[in-house]
Structure 1
Amino acid sequence: MTKYDKIFNSTETSEESLSPEEAVAAIAVITAIVDSSIEDLDAESLADILWEFEVFDEYSEEEMLEIVDRLVAIAQDEGLGTLFNTANASLSDEIVLDGFAAGVIMLLDDQNLTIPTQKQPYLKQLQQALELEDIEAEEIIKEVIAAIEETEEEYAPQEYETVILDEFGQQVYQSPLGNFVVPIPVTSEQGGTIQSQEGIVGFSDDVGTLLRIDYYPLPPEYLEEIESQGQEKYLHSTLIKKYLPQAIFTNVQGAEIKYTEYLQDTLKGYYYVLVDMPKGSTISKQENNGNANRLDAYRGLLAFINGKFLYIVSSQRTFFNGDSPGSILDEAEDIKQNILEFVETMDFN
C-alpha cells in the first residue's frame, strides 16, 4: 500500500466528460497537487506551462486557464482518484504519452532537471496506470528534459537580461527585441509575477493588478497601409475587429465593448476601448462549495504605434466582494489614466 493508492486504485469516475486534451491537463493538475494541497496550486502558472505543449496549440491563454479551473473544481468536488479515472478513460492512444509528459514536467526539479527521489514512487505508479513500458517512460522523461533545456538555451540572455537594473538600481523589464524598457510595476511582497512570451509581457499580483503589453513589429507594407488609411481607422480595425475577438470575446462569454475613444496628441494617436468581462478576471474567488469562480472585471485596452511597432497596452479592474462599478464614463476614464501613466514609464527605442 502506498499513499497514492487512493488515486490509482480508485474505481470512481465523474459524470463530467473530458476531451483528450483536457485529460492531459488533468494529469498535470493531479500531479501538481498530489503531495500538497489544492489551495497551493498556482493555476495561472500551470496553465502557462501546459500552453507550451503542442497538443494545446489551438487553445488561447484564457482557454487554458478555464480548463485548469474546471479540473481543479472536479478535484475538489469528487477527489483526485475520480479525476484521474475520468482522464485516463479519455486519453486516446495518440495522446497518452503527452499525459505522462504532463506529469513529468510537474515533478521535475527546476535546478537540476531531475525527478526528486521522493517523487519517483508517484511517477512509477502513474506510468503503470497509463500502461506504459519502462522504455517508453524513460524516453518521455528524456524528451521533456531535452525540450526544457532547449527552451532555456533559446531564451537565455544573449546581449542582455530581460530583467535588468537601471542607473538608479530599479528593476526594469527589457523587451527581448530591444524596442522598449519599462519599470516593473509589481512587487514580490504582493505576489507580483512577470509572465512573458514572444510579443507579450504581463505584470500581475495578488491584489488585482494586471498590466499587459502586446507588441507587434510592423513590416514596411503595413506602415504604408497605415499611412494611406490613417492611424485611427487602422487602430480601430486592429483592436476591435482582430485583437478583441481572438483574445477576449471567444474566451469570455458575455464580454462586450462599453466605451471607445480616439485620442490624438501632437505626435501620435491612441485608440482606447473599455470591455465589460463578466467572470473574466484573471483572479478567482473560492466559493463555499469549493469551486473557484473567476470574478467580474473591466478591461481597458490602448492601441498605438511607436516607431515600427504596434502596441496594445491593457489594464484590468477586478470587482471583489462588495465592489460595484461606477458609471461607464468614470470607470473608462480611471482605467485609461492608469494605462496612460503606465505607458509614460515606458522608454521606447
Structure 2
Amino acid sequence: MGKYDKIFQSDDVSQEELSPEEAVAAIAVVTTAADVTLENVDIEMLVDILWGFEVFEQYDDNALSEIISKLISIAETDGLGALFNAASEFLTDELVLDGFAAGVSVLVSEDDIDIPKAKMPLLKQLQSVLEVEDEEANEVIEEVLTAFEEVEEDILGDETTDFAEDLYSSPEGNFTVSIPVTPDAGGKIQTAEGMVSFSDDYGTLLRIDYYLIPPSQRAEIDDSVREQYFESVLLDKYIPQAIVANLSSASVEYTGFLPNEMQGAYFALVNMPGGCTISKQENNGHPQRLDAFRGIIAFQQHDFIYIVTSQRCFFSGETLDSIDTEAETMKANILAFIDTMEFSNI
C-alpha cells in the first residue's frame, strides 16, 4: 500500500457538492494536507497561490478564504480521502490540468523554486490519479516553476527600488512611510490594492491597509460617533474578514478608544495561536507557526481610513506579560510607526 493510498484510493465520500472551481481548490488543500495536519494548513498561503490562477480571477481574497475554509471543514468532518473524491467527481475535464497545477504549486519550495525530492512521490501519485500524461505533467510543472520565478523576480525588483529609497509611497499618493525593515534581516515589502506590509525573518510585521471613505459617509464621521465608527470597522469588519476568516482560533483580547490620537482612533489586540508569520521547526521536520499577538489601530486622515497592524511573536520559553501590559506595549509600537507616516490630502 502506497503512502498516500489512504487519500487517493479512499472509499470515503462526502455529501457536500463542489463547484468546478472549488474542486481545483480542493486538490490544493488535499495536496497541502497530505503530509501535515489540517490545523497546519496555511490558508493565507493557499489564497495567495490560487489567486494567481485564471479560474479564480473573479474571486477576491475573502471569497477564496471562505472556499478554503469550507474545504478544510469537509476534510475535518469526512476525511481527506472524501474531499479528494469530491474534487474528482466535480472537476471538469477542462480544469484537470488546473487541478494538477494547484497541487504542484503548493509543493514548490520557495527557497530554491523547485519541487523537493521528498514531495515527488506525492506529486507522482497525484498525477496518476488525475490521469495526467507525463508530457502534460512536465509542461505544467515547468509553467508553475516559471510563474514562481517571475513572482520572485518582481518582488526582488520592487524591494530593491523601495529599499534604495528608504521610503514607501502609496500608489494613490495619500501617504509615505519610512521602511521599517532591512534587506540584511530578510526584509520583504508586499503590496496589493489598498495594502502594504513590511516583514522580516525575525518576526517583524507592520502592515498598512487603507481605503477611501465614500463621499456619502464622510459627513457621518464626526467626533460624536468616531469611537463607534472605528470600533465597528475593526470588530465587525476587518478582524473577522482579514484575521478570523484565516485563523478561526483568533480572539480579541483587548480594545480601547484613543481620543488623543489622530483626532480619535481605535485599538484592538488580537490573540493568534499559530498566527505568527515565522515558524519553528518541529521534531518531525514540519514547520510550526509560532503564537502571536496582533495589535491594530484604525483611524482617519483626510478622506482615507487607515488600519495599521503590528505583530509580536512568542518564541519558545518566552513569558507573556499581562494583557494590559502587552496591549500598552503594542499600542506604543504602532503609534511610533504611524509617526513615520506622512499624509497627503489628495
| Superposition TM-score, scaled by structure 2 size | 0.67
1:232 aligns with 2:227: yes
- Residues 197-222 of structure 1 show CA distances to partners (whole Å, capped at 9, x for unaligned) of 11122111121111111111111012
- Residues 261-314 of structure 1 show CA distances to partners (whole Å, capped at 9, x for unaligned) of 211238521111112222222222222233433222111000001111111001
Q: CA separation of 1:308/1:162 partners in 2, compared to 1, >3 Å: closer, same or farther?
A: farther
C-alpha separation in 2, matches of 1:164 and 1:173: 10
More displaced 10-residue stretch of structure 1: 222-231 or 273-282: 222-231
C-alpha separation in 2, matches of 1:259 and 1:291: 32
| Equivalences for residues 214-229 of structure 1 within 5 A | 214-227=209-222
Partner of 2:5: 12
The gaps in structure 1 that reach 5 residues or longer are: 1-8, 34-41, 71-82, 111-121
Which secondary structure state, in structure 2, belongs to the residue aligned with residue 96 of structure 1? helix
Aligned residues: 304
Please report how far the alpha carbon of residue 135 of structure 1 lies from its aligned counterpart in structure 2 after TM superposition.
9.8
Q: Which residue identity is paired with 1:48?
A: D
Q: Is the 8 A contact 1:28 1:102 kept in 2?
A: no
C-alpha separation in 2, matches of 1:321 and 1:107: 28
Q: Which residue identity is paired with 1:261?
A: G
Please report how far the alpha carbon of residue 343 of structure 1 lies from its aligned counterpart in structure 2 after TM superposition.
0.8
1:172 aligns with 2:163: no
C-alpha separation in 2, matches of 1:106 and 1:253: 22
Q: CA separation of 1:228/1:261 partners in 2, compared to 1, >3 Å: closer, same or farther?
A: closer
Q: Which residue identity is paired with 2:305?
A: L
Partner of 2:292: 297
Q: Pick the aligned partner of 2:317 from 315, 322, 342.
A: 322
C-alpha separation in 2, matches of 1:209 and 1:244: 19
Q: Which residue identity is paired with 2:342?
A: D
Q: Pick the aligned partner of 2:26 from 22, 25, 33.
A: 22
| Equivalences for residues 84-233 of structure 1 within 5 A | 89=85, 91-92=87-88, 93-94=91-92, 95-102=95-102, 130-132=130-132, 164=161, 170-227=165-222, 230-233=225-228
Which secondary structure state, in structure 2, belongs to the residue aligned with residue 302 of structure 1? strand
| Equivalences for residues 269-288 of structure 1 within 5 A | 269-288=264-283
Q: Which residue identity is paired with 2:98?
A: D
RMSD: 4.8
Q: Pick the aligned partner of 2:64 from 59, 65, 78.
A: 59
Q: Which residue identity is paired with 1:317?
A: R
Q: CA separation of 1:60/1:179 partners in 2, compared to 1, >3 Å: closer, same or farther?
A: farther
Q: Is the 8 A contact 2:294 2:310 kept in 1?
A: yes
Partner of 1:80: none
Partner of 1:74: none
C-alpha separation in 2, matches of 1:291 and 1:151: 25
Q: CA separation of 1:123/1:191 partners in 2, compared to 1, >3 Å: closer, same or farther?
A: same
Partner of 2:303: 308
Q: Pick the aligned partner of 2:237 from 237, 242, 249.
A: 242
Q: Is the 8 A contact 2:44 2:246 kept in 1?
A: no
C-alpha separation in 2, matches of 1:278 and 1:125: 33
- Residues 139-167 of structure 1 show CA distances to partners (whole Å, capped at 9, x for unaligned) of 9799989999x999xx99xxxx787469x
C-alpha separation in 1, matches of 2:49 and 2:338: 29
Q: Which residue identity is paired with 2:271?
A: D
Q: CA separation of 1:134/1:182 partners in 2, compared to 1, >3 Å: closer, same or farther?
A: same
Q: CA separation of 1:89/1:135 partners in 2, compared to 1, >3 Å: closer, same or farther?
A: same
| Superposition TM-score, scaled by structure 1 size | 0.67
C-alpha separation in 2, matches of 1:188 and 1:17: 48
Partner of 2:38: none
Please report how far the alpha carbon of residue 105 of structure 1 lies from its aligned counterpart in structure 2 after TM superposition.
5.9
Partner of 1:262: 257
**Identity, % of aligned positions:** 47
C-alpha separation in 2, matches of 1:151 and 1:319: 30
Q: Is the 8 A contact 1:162 1:175 kept in 2?
A: no
C-alpha separation in 1, matches of 2:50 and 2:87: 16
C-alpha separation in 2, matches of 1:143 and 1:190: 31
C-alpha separation in 2, matches of 1:17 and 1:280: 31
Q: CA separation of 1:247/1:46 partners in 2, compared to 1, >3 Å: closer, same or farther?
A: closer
Partner of 1:119: none
The gaps in structure 2 that reach 5 residues or longer are: 15-21, 36-41, 111-121
- Residues 215-263 of structure 1 show CA distances to partners (whole Å, capped at 9, x for unaligned) of 1111101212223863222111111111112222333344322222211
Q: Which residue identity is paired with 1:13?
A: K
